[in-house]
């Protein structure tokens, strides 16, 4: 404690103030009776909330973009599966026309 503070007055002044941190390293003593300091404190709190709000908005936009990409990928996969199913059915019909059963193919391939 600096020498210019008398013990009793230092602690009584300290009781009238409370610590407030503007930044992580900046600690000041604020008298709650002064309106300008209250305004500054509320402005600071508002800026914190606005920053959090902006971050959440950016995250929401990113998630919406990811969702759109996922929907597009799902559509592409669905189209590929439809094409493969159509090709499978064409091959199955050709085999059926020629009198070949799928079970016969499975037993021959295991030998």
List, in order, residues 6 or more apart from 22 with CB less than 8 Å away: 28, 44
pLDDT value for 93: 93
- Claim to verify: residue 24 and residue 70 sit in the same structural domain: no
- Claim to verify: residue 72 and residue 106 sit in the same structural domain: yes
- Claim to verify: residue 102 and residue 77 sit in the same structural domain: yes
- Claim to verify: residue 106 and residue 57 sit in the same structural domain: yes
Number of domain units in the chain: 2
Q: Is the pTM of this model over 0.85?
A: no
Q: What is the mean pLDDT of the chain?
A: 78
- Out of 2-16, 28-42, 62-76, the most confident range is 62-76
pLDDT value for 50: 97
Which tokens hold the place of 87?
A: 């090709």
pLDDT value for 18: 47
For residues 14 and 29, the model is more confident at: 29
Alpha-carbon distance 102 to 94, whole Å? 11
Which tokens hold the place of 80?
A: 């590929």
Domain that holds residue 21: 1-33
- Claim to verify: residue 26 and residue 38 sit in the same structural domain: no
- Claim to verify: residue 25 and residue 44 sit in the same structural domain: no
- Claim to verify: residue 39 and residue 90 sit in the same structural domain: yes
């Amino acid at each position: 404690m600096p020498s210019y503070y008398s013990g009793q007055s230092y602690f009584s002044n300290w009781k009238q103030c409370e610590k407030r941190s503007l930044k992580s390293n900046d600690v000041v003593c604020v008298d709650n009776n002064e309106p300008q300091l209250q305004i500054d404190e509320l402005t600071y709190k508002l800026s914190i909330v606005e920053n959090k709000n902006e971050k959440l908005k950016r995250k929401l936009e990113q998630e919406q973009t990811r969702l759109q990409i996922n929907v597009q990928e799902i559509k592409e996969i669905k189209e590929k599966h439809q094409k493969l199913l159509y090709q499978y059915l064409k091959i199955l019909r050709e085999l059926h026309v020629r009198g070949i059963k799928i079970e016969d193919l499975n037993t021959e391939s295991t030998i």
